[in-house]
Structure 1
Amino acid sequence: MALKVAFQMDPIELIDINGDSTFALLLEAQSRGHDVFYYTPPNLSLKDGRLIAFGHSLTVEDKPGDHYRLAHPHTVDLADFDVVQLRQDPPFDMAYITTTHLLERLQPGTLVVNDPASVRNAPEKVFVLDFLDLMPPTLVTRSPDEIRAFRAEHKDIVVKPLYGNGGAAIFRIAEGDTNLNSLIELLGQTFREPIMVQRYLPSVRAGDKRIILVDGEVAGAINRVPAADETRSNLHVGGTAKKTTLTPREEEICARLAPELKKRGLIFTGIDVIGDYLTEINVTSPTGIRQVKEFGGNDIAAMIWDVVEKKVAAR
């Protein structure tokens, strides 16, 4: 079944195709014969009640440095499409939130993946707070006194912006570290939102596991091991991807999340688990597809498109 598919994403010339999940989805869409249209968020407009986008027909090739071809620049009515893939990376700011409000107007005629209302209501570090019993001790606040008291209680903490992404501005502050007050001041001046503070988990040295779920079902996982001189395990800051399997605790976490993910229309989700604890639920632009396949795991892009095609056919 050939579909008309639009990808709302970051500039395609800037992506790293070796690890980019959006590129994997593009390759799979093309292999299935879907008609792919590409545009970037600034080219999305609402005109007289019609949601339109200026962009290009797109073909892709798994060839670094020569991975895409753009053709036929034109403006389309997104209501004419079967599927829109919402795939731009955070920051999860008002610009991002506005695109979810606009894309929500396409429903129910056009399937948006992930559901834009659910993306808007499920920021990575906020949605996860619905499952506090699965998380390490966590504080969300702008109060310096609360942060200092939290460190006094837990000794070793991690401080991060509530709407950050990609490991940016994440700091470990151990007991006795005299930088805490300066860091609170810096984050308070830089971000208007509250700060997230969590107890540091020493088990992160063994890895921060990314588990990918497709329509609530486990599709694959990779373990991301931080470099010796890093707290963060993100691959783009030096973390190393390792083959992995799920522990019984991780299977329990996934089973807890599955009904809520399905109910919210979150088809493609990546969760992060350190040791026995859930730390994030990624719904805006999850990554990890190519790494899972590289280590002999499932073809998750194919699994996602199987679900998308089934949902379109059922409309």
Structure 2
Amino acid sequence: MKLLFVADPLDTFKIHKDSTFAMMREAASRGHTLWACEPQDLVWQKGSTVQAQAREIRLTGQAPEWFTVQDTRVLSLHEVGAVLMRKDPPFDAEYVYATHLLTQAQREGARVFNRPDALRAHPEKLAILEFPQHIAPTLVTRDINAVRAFHAQHRDVILKPLDGMGGMGIFRVKDDGLNLGSIAETLTRDGRQTIMVQAFLPAIAAGDKRVLLIDGEPVPYALARIPQGGEVRGNLAAGGKGVAQALSDSDWALARHLGPILAARGLLLVGLDIIGDRLTEINVTSPTCFQEITDQTGYNVAQRFVDALEQQLAAGAQAGG
């Protein structure tokens, strides 16, 4: 079966930890053919279908030349077995445009994971607003006075942009309010850009946990990303230490509540970010941590993901007759 990965440039992959690479490796081990393109390679024209200038790749398993190109051609997305949208944030206008092209591909018969309409409906910071019972005190605004009032109420807060990843642009302002105005002005671009502000959760000292949901079911291990060296951010890209651990009772409860809801919307793979027992993000664009969990626990996350993908494809084929 042909699998088309819509992703970042292949030469930027860090294969020792990249989850898309782990998916590719597992899929290739089952005999699937790997194709890759970038969002800018997607094209639609009247009288035709959504197509991509794509490369067939074969994995070598060795960095830095971890793949070889077997073929380059234009593929119609509805002719491949599955399209996997794995482009990293930012969740900007170009990302949204790519999801609209993928929605058109779906109309033409393509199978796209995660569903592009579900990607649009779940921006990763804002998706948590649907589940207020699970989140910390939170404010979404571009009003600097509202930010000041929220800080006055909660005294210790985290400010972050809505379109970042890997801990970029995250600031903590403690009780003294030092630099609150400057940070709020910078992040909101003087009130022109909406941001999120949340009450600081001391449980971050034990890690920002990534809990993976595959077809609505939680992987039994989370990766706790623990801040290092005085950092407030646990993100691995910001120097956090990743420690795999069994899900806690509260992790299980939260995952089992959200899992069926999100799976029913066409989100095959979701990454919940949890601090303590509070939900902080719902990651749907390109959830990671496959390899870290597998390396530390022996639980093969990529295997379970490809199992779920194949089951979805088989079910779709049966439904289509």
Question: Does residue 123 of structure 2 align to residue 136 of structure 1?
Answer: no
Residue 271 of structure 1 aligns to a residue in which SS? Answer: strand
Contact 1:27 1:61 in 2 (8 A): no
1:281 paired residue number: 282
Residue 273 of structure 1 aligns to a residue in which SS? Answer: strand
2:245 paired residue number: 244
Matched length: 313
Using the alignment, how far apart are the partners of 1:126 and 1:43 within structure 2?
Answer: 28
1:74 paired residue number: 73
Contact 1:243 1:295 in 2 (8 A): yes
2:92 paired residue number: 93
- What are the equivalent positions in structure 2 for 1:97-136 lying under 5 Å apart? 97-107=96-106, 109-136=109-136
- What are the equivalent positions in structure 2 for 1:1-315 lying under 5 Å apart? 3-48=1-46, 49-107=48-106, 109-189=109-189, 192-219=192-219, 220-315=221-316
Could you tell me how far 1:297 is from its partner in structure 2? 4.0
Greater alpha carbon shift after TM alignment, 188-197 vs 214-223: 188-197
Could you tell me how far 1:191 is from its partner in structure 2? 8.6
Using the alignment, how far apart are the partners of 2:75 and 2:190 within structure 1?
Answer: 38
One-letter amino acid of the counterpart of residue 244, structure 1 = Q
One-letter amino acid of the counterpart of residue 112, structure 2 = V
RMSD of aligned Cα (Å): 1.3
Report the TM-score when normalising by structure 2. Answer: 0.94
Could you tell me how far 1:178 is from its partner in structure 2? 2.5
Using the alignment, how far apart are the partners of 2:191 and 2:147 within structure 1?
Answer: 16
Could you tell me how far 1:96 is from its partner in structure 2? 0.3
Residue 98 of structure 1 aligns to a residue in which SS? Answer: helix
Could you tell me how far 1:177 is from its partner in structure 2? 3.0
Cα pair distance change 1:202/1:217, threshold 3 Å: same
Contact 1:19 1:288 in 2 (8 A): yes
Q: Deviations over 1:130-180 (max 9, x none)?
A: 111100000000111111010000000000011221110000011113201
Cα pair distance change 1:295/1:84, threshold 3 Å: same
Could you tell me how far 1:190 is from its partner in structure 2? 8.0
Q: Deviations over 1:185-240 (max 9, x none)?
A: 11122895311000001110111111111011011311111112211101121100
Could you tell me how far 1:113 is from its partner in structure 2? 0.9
One-letter amino acid of the counterpart of residue 53, structure 2 = F
Cα pair distance change 1:107/1:190, threshold 3 Å: farther
Using the alignment, how far apart are the partners of 1:93 and 1:292 within structure 2?
Answer: 29
Contact 2:223 2:292 in 1 (8 A): yes
Gaps of 5+ in 2: 317-321
Using the alignment, how far apart are the partners of 2:131 and 2:257 within structure 1?
Answer: 9
Greater alpha carbon shift after TM alignment, 245-254 vs 150-159: 245-254
Cα pair distance change 1:32/1:192, threshold 3 Å: farther
Using the alignment, how far apart are the partners of 2:308 and 2:230 within structure 1?
Answer: 40
Structure 1 runs (4+) deviating above 6 angstroms are none
Residue 150 of structure 2 aligns to a residue in which SS? Answer: helix
Contact 1:140 1:194 in 2 (8 A): yes
Contact 1:223 1:242 in 2 (8 A): yes
Using the alignment, how far apart are the partners of 2:80 and 2:274 within structure 1?
Answer: 36
Q: Deviations over 1:226-263 (max 9, x none)?
A: 11221110112110011211111111111110121111
Q: Percent identity?
A: 39
Residue 270 of structure 2 aligns to a residue in which SS? Answer: strand
One-letter amino acid of the counterpart of residue 252, structure 1 = A
One-letter amino acid of the counterpart of residue 254, structure 2 = I
Cα pair distance change 1:145/1:192, threshold 3 Å: closer
Contact 1:103 1:116 in 2 (8 A): yes
Could you tell me how far 1:76 is from its partner in structure 2? 1.1
Using the alignment, how far apart are the partners of 1:127 and 1:202 within structure 2?
Answer: 23
Greater alpha carbon shift after TM alignment, 48-57 vs 22-31: 48-57
2:319 paired residue number: none
Contact 2:185 2:191 in 1 (8 A): no
Q: Deviations over 1:93-130 (max 9, x none)?
A: 01000111110122262221111100111011111111
Contact 2:142 2:191 in 1 (8 A): no
Gaps of 5+ in 1: none
